[in-house]
Amino acid sequence: MTPAGQTLPAPVGVFGGTFDPVHHGHLRAALEVLDSCGLAAMRLVPAGQPPHRNRPVAGAEERLRLLQVATAGEPRFAVDESELRRAGPSYTIDTLTVLRAALHPQPLCLVLGADAFLGLPDWHRWRELAELAHLVVMHRPGAPLRPEGDLAQLLAARRSDDVGDLRRRSAGVVRLQPVTQLDISSTAIRALVRDGRDPRYLVPDAVRDLLVGSSSYRHSVEVQVRA
């Protein structure tokens, strides 16, 4: 906490995901969080080898390229390649530890959709995430925010509806953030492209142009490894 009346610099957002591929649901929600929370910038962090899910359909370089073209027109978005360059599984706790050390005392906001937030207790060292960053949880269609158990406790203990709290301390607040509800998912876009249908208007045009010519997405096979 800062002394009374003082505030810290505007926070930096950290928005992780597989981005397989990036779509307007990600981009619009990230922009609205940036504005609503008064963030200085939003770092989009594609996961190299996500620990919680099947292998991405597209390789790291292709997903990175799609994110780069998708965000090229928005100077407050930055694509952070650190998880792609790190060997082994991509753990958010490692990414936040590096940023925390580099940016201290600037606040960090870990940005999550409601579905990701509900799965948080499966993440590596998940309780420590809120020591390094605030958590900003975006509403998402199909993922009602009804946390239970440890997650409900975290929310009860740390929730704040005062956006100013994100600048009064460097980490530790949980904020629930309404965003325009766009029922778009990468899973649905992969299915469209695989079926030879057009993902136009679900993704930026520059992403669409790359997707329709992408052999990884056109010939993808989704193997459900986990139930």
- Three-state DSSP class for 211? helix
Residue span 89-118 as binding mask against ligand ATP, x where in contact by CB under 6 A, dash where not: -----------------------xx-xx--
Q: Can residue 177 be called a binding residue for ligand ATP (CB under 6 A)?
A: no
Residue 18 or 71: the one with the smaller Cβ distance to ligand ATP is: 18
Residue 170 or 186: the one with the smaller Cβ distance to ligand ATP is: 186
Nearest approach in angstroms of CB 2 to ligand ATP is 29
Q: What's the count of helices (H) and strands (E) in the chain, helices before strands?
A: 10, 6
| Segment holding 134, helix H or strand E | strand 134-138
Contact 64, 79 (CB under 8 A): yes
Q: Can residue 19 be called a binding residue for ligand ATP (CB under 6 A)?
A: yes
Q: Can residue 17 be called a binding residue for ligand ATP (CB under 6 A)?
A: yes
Contact 88, 49 (CB under 8 A): yes
Phi, psi at 26, each rounded to 5°? -65, -50
Q: Can residue 13 be called a binding residue for ligand ATP (CB under 6 A)?
A: no
| Segment holding 137, helix H or strand E | strand 134-138
Tell me which residues touch ligand ATP (CB under 6 A).
17-20, 25-26, 29, 112-113, 115-116, 138, 140, 182, 184-187
